[in-house]
Amino acid sequence: MPLWLVVELTYKCPLKCPWCSNPVDFDRYRNELSTEEWIDVLREGRRLGSLQLGFTGGEPMLRKDLEVLVGEADRLGYYTNLITSGVGLSPERLRALKTAGLKQIQLSLQACDQELNEKLVGLDVFRHKIDIARTIKAEGFPMVMNVPVSRFNIDQTEAFIDLAADLGVEYLEFANLQYYNWALINRAELIPTREQLARAEAQVNAARERLGKKLTIFYVVPDYYDNRPKACMNGWGAIHLTIAPDGTALPCQEARLIKGIDFPNVRDHGLDFIWRKSQAFNAFRGDAWMKEPCRSCSEKERDFGGCRCQAFLLTGDAANTDPVCTKSPHRHLIDDLIAKVRPRTVDPETPLIMREAGRRSKRTEVG
């Protein structure tokens, strides 16, 4: 069942993060679901067995009906989580969300200083983020501080840990970037070096020893530097269901970049049909779709062949083994990418392409 329901309320966002997971052509998707349509989605999700509900975007704070949706979700029995940049979140709205029943907040922070943060998101919002983080904790919310890790901020790992401890957050997540959409365009500039990753991991392990239960730190080796693929979303169409702003239903937030799959829309079909019977959600369930080496691999019931989106982006066929796997005949694609990664200064040799409506690039190779 879809235990984890993610609702992308809007693709609108004031920030211009060059690793944004939203589609590169996000400005095409303007026909957002109405309040009533979102409420229908929430009700159908609970009937299917969804328990965890993430409100995200874009920036979900740009939806004026967020408090209404949170209130309905709480009434239905969801554990609700707000995934936000903090921009648009004020003390007044924070208290209104708490009254509505919001249970947890995940706040993104891109740097530990104002100058770098502004360079990476395109706006001067660093002080606001810190202030709203303190307000979140003052209101008694459990909080995750989410750090999208790139070459630009990975050397601030210790500073992020100290800041999280000072803020009193319960969880700090170092989210090494996944190279889809905007992050794929900027991959050559964003990907850290192996040496940076090793230093950061050592700093995380030392902090875990030092801080103990005061702060839980999540740190996962990024895909490209691993030898085996992760069990992406615990398998395609297994426990995760995303609804995009226009009502498109997806097994993960990136899935619509796979060409050749007609993803259903909640305006045309109920969630029960979408989850159980649609071609899209059944496309990579089980193992009948698998090619070698996945088909005969002893790990196939644990990693499910890895990420279908990554397989498609790097090999052109979503049914191929994720190239991260050392058993994949396409592993050389990853090795070639990693071999080209070189240390860079804060100012990139090739300017970052910031997330903006109508702005695209074919630049996807590590330079």
pTM: 0.94
Instruction: Give the number of domains in the chain.
Output: 1
DSSP assignments along 37-80, one per residue: HHHHHHHHHHHHT--EEEEESS-GGG-TTHHHHHHHHHHHT-EE
Residues comprising the chain, all counted:
367
In a domain, 338, yes or no: no
Q: Which of 246, 93, 92 is nearest to 82 (CA)?
A: 93
Read off the pLDDT band of 349 (50, 70, 90): low
Q: Locate 264 and state its tokens.
A: 């259903």
pLDDT for the residue numbered 343? 75
pLDDT, tens only, 39-90: 999 999 999 999 999 999 999 999 999 999 999 999 999 999 999 999 999 9
Q: Residue 248 domain-assigned? A: no
- Residue 349 Cα distances to 111, 190, 325, 342, 343, angstroms: 20, 11, 30, 11, 11
Residue 340 domain flag: no
In a domain, 273, yes or no: no
Q: What is the CATH number of the domain that holds 80?
A: 3.20.20.70
Specify if 262 maps to a domain.
Answer: no
User: In this structure, is residue 105 part of a structural domain?
Assistant: yes
Residue 45 maps to a domain = yes
The range of the structural domain enclosing residue 171 comes to: 4-219
SS3 241: strand
What the block records as the tokens of 250 is 């997806």
The annotation status of 20 as a binding-site residue, yes or no, is yes
Residue 58 and residue 80: Cα distance in Å, rounded? Answer: 17
Whether pLDDT at 184 is above 50: yes
* CA-wise closest residue to 311 among 296, 290, 282: 290
AA letter at 230? K
Residue 173 domain flag: yes
**203-225: average pLDDT:** 93
**Is 297 labeled as ligand-binding?**
no
> Average pLDDT of 294-310?
95
Distance CA 187, CA 178 (A): 9
Q: Is 13 annotated as a binding residue?
A: yes
DSSP 8-state class, residue 14: S
